[in-house]
Amino acid sequence: MAERMLQFVRLEQQTPDKRDAAERRTDFDEIYARFAPEQAAAQASRCSQCGVPFCQVHCPLNNNIPDWLKLTAEGRLEEAYEVSAATNTFPEICGRVCPQDRLCEGNCVIEKGFDSVTIGAVEKYVTDTAWEKGWVKPPRPKQELPYSVGIIGAGPAGLAAAERLRLRGWQVTVYDRYDRVGGLMIYGIPNFKLEKEVVLRRQAQYEAGGIKFVLNCQIGKDVTLAQLREKHDAVLVATGVYKARAIQAPGIGLPGVMPALEYLTASNRVGLGDSVPEFESGALNASGKRVVVIGGGDTAMDCVRTAIRQGATSVTCLYRRDKANMPGSMREVKNAEEEGVRFEWLAAPEAFTGTDKVEGVRAIRMHLGLPDATGRQQVEPIAGSEFTEPADIAILALGFDPEDLPAMFEEPALTVTRWGTLKVDHRSMMTALPGVFAAGDIVRGASLVVWGIRDGRDAADQIEQYVLAQKSLATAAE
């Protein structure tokens, strides 16, 4: 091993080529190229094969990173793919969208003094290669089992559970109110971070493996939860969080003030070739407009970068704290800056101006005060510092809360936390309703794709244990 690995002292960190900002502003294609084979092997060889790999500890899936890096460095890509796919349902997606700077790479020990191993880019390279070579197979089980699960939500959590149970022979049906599979991976995350073909090819594999999708089907409206419980041995709720957090401010109802997801979904649909009347009418299209986005998270970064690509004349991001305190990934902020987004740090909206439609966002400058009990610095307005940012479109990217699931499902027995997320037993992942489990954002609150995958995989194991125990109890009672 030794001569192949530990190359960080000799080889510098190299990230995959990033397209020039001037070019990428004009299209929705992904911005990073893929490693060339020799580049991937060289970058993987920088790993020092730590005895206690902190990268693995800080990966929500506890991916066996040192092993697949070593296999990649040795050119044994099929094995690298198998090791990587053993713990991750969508390695090629995590390689693209995980905030690696806060997870695996941010905890790579060679970062101290040297730049970290480019774990995410190697993970993406290995699995994209696996797709090209035909190593990624539909989840066809060795034998069919008479157990059935109904999964509500075809996002990463629902799909991860679906694949795991199907591989073990279960009869799996996934219900989704959307017309496509993928949840926020298809209609939330923009194409320039995750090309939609990457998600759609997974859907095709799952269908080929025998997973049934019932799309355009909203549970609670088209079918009740009670009907699903009748039909399946267990049900998994993986519905995500979609209620946009609002602010109270004069002018909030003016045309042109819109929630982030409405704007991003329209853009993603257009990219997928759908006809979107609100885009065609201009209501959800930033072309030729001055755009102000309010918020400092990854959703805000996706909005500003989408507006740039749609041809906005100016794009400004208002955030009430400073750059160092932004909740989003620094990599995304840097990409946005390169693409021409202007940031107004320490500025909070007070009102939306205009009569028939929004014409500006009146904001006030803030300063950072003392930390509160959580250690986060408080922000306070600076009297007399108001200013107005002209806007034809104002996008609110302030976060998401869960919808009222007990009401939506007409199941008052389904208990929720004070944040509205579903309450589950944290070991069994079961809700207050026997046989109904929950996973992903609907349990955690707005989170990450990689956590959705982790929860979905864990929920599949819990569902299996529960149903097998129920069946053996029933057999014993006969």
Closer Cβ to ligand FAD, 66 or 158, answer by number: 158
Closest distance of CB 184 from ligand SF4, Å? 16
The widest CA-to-CA distance across the chain, in whole angstroms, is 78
Which of 176, 233, 339, 389 is close enough to bind ligand FAD by CB under 6 A?
176
Q: Pick the closer one to ligand FAD by CB: 116 or 191.
A: 191
Residue 177 makes CB contacts below 8 A (sequence gap 6+) with 216, 217, 218, 219, 221
Whichever of 349 and 452 has its CB closer to ligand FAD, that residue is 452
Q: Which is nearer to ligand FAD, 136 or 238 (CB)?
A: 238
Residue 444, phi then psi, degrees to nearest 5: -85, -20
Residue in the structure block whose two tokens are 């939306």: 352
Phi, psi (rounded to 5 degrees) for 235: -125, 140
Closest contact distance (angstroms) between CB of 351 and ligand SF4 is 40
Closer residue to ligand SF4 in complex, CB, 183/402: 183
Whether the CB-CB separation of 241 and 402 falls below 8 Å is answered with yes
Q: Could you tell which of ligand FAD, ligand SF4, none binds residue 178, using a CB distance below 5 to 8 A set by kind?
A: ligand FAD
Considering only the stretches 140-148, 169-177, 320-328, 468-476, report the one whose residues sit in contact with ligand FAD under the rule CB under 6 A.
169-177
65: partner contacted, choices ligand FAD, ligand SF4, none (Cβ within 5-8 A by kind): ligand SF4
* DSSP secondary structure code for residue 176 in this structure: -
* Other Cβ atoms within 10 Å of 325 Cβ, number: 15
Backbone angles phi, psi at 29, to 5 degrees: -70, 160
Q: What are the contacts of 203-209 at 24+ separation with CB within 8 A?
A: 205/136, 205/137, 205/138, 205/139, 206/138, 206/139, 206/159, 206/162, 206/163, 206/166, 206/181, 208/138, 208/140, 209/138, 209/139, 209/140, 209/163, 209/166
Strand 290-294 versus strand 314-318 pairing type: parallel
Q: Does 67 bind ligand FAD (CB under 6 A)?
A: no
By the rule CB under 6 A, 155 interacts with ligand FAD: yes
**Helix or strand holding residue 133 (H, E):** helix 119-133
Cα–Cα nearest to 463, from 431, 422, 420, 417 = 431
Q: What number of CA atoms fall less than 13 Å from residue 433's CA on the CB side?
A: 25
- 41 vs 37, 73, 244, 350, 416, CA distance in Å? 6, 4, 43, 52, 48
Judged by CB under 6 A, does residue 173 bind ligand FAD? no
The reply to whether 402 sits near ligand FAD by the rule CB under 6 A is no
14 touches ligand FAD by CB under 6 A: no
Per CB under 6 A, the segment of 23-31, 183-191, 351-359, 372-380 that binds ligand FAD is: 183-191
Kindly state whether residue 298 participates in binding ligand FAD, applying the rule CB under 6 A: yes
| Range 449-478, binding ligand FAD (CB under 6 A) | 449-450, 452
Cβ distance to ligand SF4 smaller for residue 68 or 279: 68
- When the beta carbons of 66 and 297 are compared against ligand FAD, the nearer one is 297
Residues that bind ligand SF4 (CB under 6 A): 47-50, 53-55, 59, 61, 63, 65-66, 88, 94-95, 98, 100, 103-104, 108-110, 117, 119-120, 123, 450
54 interacts with, out of ligand SF4, ligand FAD, none, CB within 5 to 8 A per kind: ligand SF4
Whether the Cβ atoms of residue 352 and residue 124 lie closer than 8 Å to each other:
no
**What does the alpha-carbon distance between residue 280 and residue 274 come to, in Å, rounded to a whole number?**
11
Task: Tell me the CA distances in angstroms from 98 to 95, 268, 298, 369, 456, one per residue in order.
Answer: 6, 19, 11, 31, 17
Q: Tell me whether residue 195 or residue 322 sits nearer to ligand SF4 (CB atom).
A: 195
By rule CB under 6 A, what string of x and - marks binding of each residue 206-225 to ligand FAD? Answer: ------------xxx-----
Taking CB under 6 A as the criterion, which residues in 80-109 touch ligand FAD? Answer: 97-98
Classify 350 as helix, strand or coil: strand
Picked from ligand FAD, ligand SF4, none, the partner binding residue 259 (CB below 5 to 8 A depending on kind) is: none
422 binds, among ligand SF4, ligand FAD, none (CB under 5 to 8 A by kind): none
Distance between CA atoms of residues 368 and 350, nearest Å: 18
Q: What is the smallest separation between the CB atom of 454 and ligand FAD, expressed in angstroms? A: 11
The minimum distance between CB 371 and ligand FAD, in angstroms, equals: 27
- The interface region with ligand FAD, picked from 3-11, 354-362, 448-456, 466-474 by CB under 6 A, is 448-456
Q: Determine if 392 is a binding residue for ligand FAD (CB under 6 A).
A: no
> In angstroms, how far is CA 464 from the centroid of its own chain?
26
Q: In whole angstroms, what is the distance from residue 78 CA to residue 67 CA?
A: 13
Strand partners, 395: 258, 293
Residue 58 binds ligand FAD, judged by CB under 6 A: no
421 binds ligand FAD (CB under 6 A): no
* Nearest to ligand FAD of 85, 159 (CB atom): 159
- Distance CA(451)–CA(241), nearest Å, equals 14
Cβ proximity of 217 and 177 under 8 Å: yes
Q: Is 30 in the site for ligand FAD (CB under 6 A)?
A: no
| Residues in contact with ligand FAD by the rule CB under 6 A | 97-98, 152-158, 175-178, 183-185, 188-189, 193, 218-220, 238-240, 261, 264, 298-299, 302, 408, 440-441, 447-450, 452
